[in-house]
Every structure is written in C-alpha cells, then in structure tokens.
Amino acid sequence: MPRRKIAAGNWKMNKNYDDALQLIRDISATNPPKEIHTVLAVPSIYLKNGVDMLMHIIGLDVAAQNCHQEPSGAYTGEISASMLSSISVPYVVIGHSERREYFHENSQQLASKVDVALSNGLQVIFCCGESLDIRKSGNHVPHVCKQIRESLFHLSDDQWSNVIIAYEPIWAIGTGETASPEQAQEMHQALRTMIANEKSSNIAENVSILYGGSVKPANAKDIFTGEDVDGALVGGASLNADGFKEIMDALARS
C-alpha cells in the first residue's frame, strides 16, 4: 500500500474570524485532489468551526497547532489533547520549530505531548529540523535523527501508524530560502533509513514524511520529485486558496 500523500497548511497566528472561515470555504471549494489528504492547521479558536464545516468532505480535515503535555490542570491558556478530541479534531502538530524556539519545548516534553495526543485518538504531525548553524556544520542529519529518536522511538509499532513526520529546515521557514529538492530528499531518505534500521522496515516504509520550509507553487513540483518526500507542511502559501490548490495539485501529480 503506498504511503499517504499529505498537504498540510499551517496558518500559524493569522486570519481573523470571518477571513478564516472564508479561507476554509475557499479551500474546500477548490475540490482538493482525491489522491491526497489535505489538513488545515488553523488557530485553535477556529477548530470547532473547521470541524463542523468539513465533516462531510472526505480527505479535508483540520489540525490543532499544539497541545499541552498534561491531560488537564492549572495551565492557564493551554489546550489539552482531550479537549481537541472532544470536538473531533483529528490531527495535532507537535514540535514545530517556533514552539521549540519561542516556548523552549524540548525532546522530553515533546515525547509527552506525542503520548497524550495518541492516547486521545489524535494523529500527530511531528516536526523536526535543524538551524542554519547546524546545517553549515554538516551535522544536520545526526541532529534531526536525534530529535526523532528522543521523541518518537519509545512508541509501539501500532502507534507509529498515527504519526506523520514533517522535516522543516529552520533556515528555510519564512525566509524565502528553500532546501533544494536534493537536500530535502537527502534528509527524508536519511530519516527513513534510520527508522528502518533502528525500529522496523515496515514502519519506515509506511510513515509519511513531509517537507516544510517556504514551499510555494513555484517550487512545489520540484520538491515533490524526491522519492521519500510524501507531501508538504506549508506556511504562508497556505493562506491563499489558489496558491495552496497549486501545491495540492503538484503533490497529486507527483
């Protein structure tokens, strides 16, 4: 069975209420290709709207951009995995580089978030990636492999079926810089090989690995040429329905 092709849009902290709902309508009206799965990581206050609007559209879902690692408690301003599950949110993004950088999330904390998300029936889009300094040092592959080991390798084989990996070179997020198709494929292949060698070939063959980092209509086709590139985690370009549709179409044709 071929791996799932996934186009995920991360809206980050963008779009006011009316604009957000209109963008959900606009993206659904593009009739996303049936060959792929499309996920919209919308701000948390729009999640229930998104679930309700998309519940009858196969292959188009919403994702939370984060959840807390504790099941409940005195954590003002946070959202628990059970809260997400209670409104039928199917996906959650965990470990995005901005969460790691601005909120100092570490591998142990992220492993706990993965656990609580999976235990509440959520599918996890787990982000990993390296800074420009680490890329220039030549240690980018060991660094990213370490992130995966520390936060995902405690999972059972069955749990891996609900995990998606998103490789995002930090130096290419929102900068206009993009990893070349060869650089993206190198990292994706390295991650898949490491998982095959250290976990199982079955997990490695079936886990979808997305690329994230200034993906846009102009470069999507080339990025998706990589054999181990199964889709994209798209930032700014996902805020425009027509542009995101071009990316979805490029993935469907890959």
Supply the residues annotated as catalytic.
96, 168
CA distance 30 to 120: 31
User: CA-CA distances (angstroms) from residue 191 to 96, 119, 128, 135, 228?
Assistant: 17, 25, 10, 16, 9
H or E, element range at 135:
helix 132-137
Give the end-to-end CA distance of the chain in Å, rounded to a whole number.
Answer: 16
Token pair recorded at residue 131: 């800074």
130: left (phi over 0), alpha (psi -120 to 50) or beta: beta
49 burial via Cβ count (<10 Å: 0-12, 13-18, 19+) = middle
Token pair recorded at residue 62: 């919403």
CA distance 196 to 5: 20
Contact 62, 47 (CB under 8 A): yes
77 burial via Cβ count (<10 Å: 0-12, 13-18, 19+) = exposed
**Among the listed residues 181, 172, 170, the one whose alpha carbon sits nearest the alpha carbon of residue 221:** 181
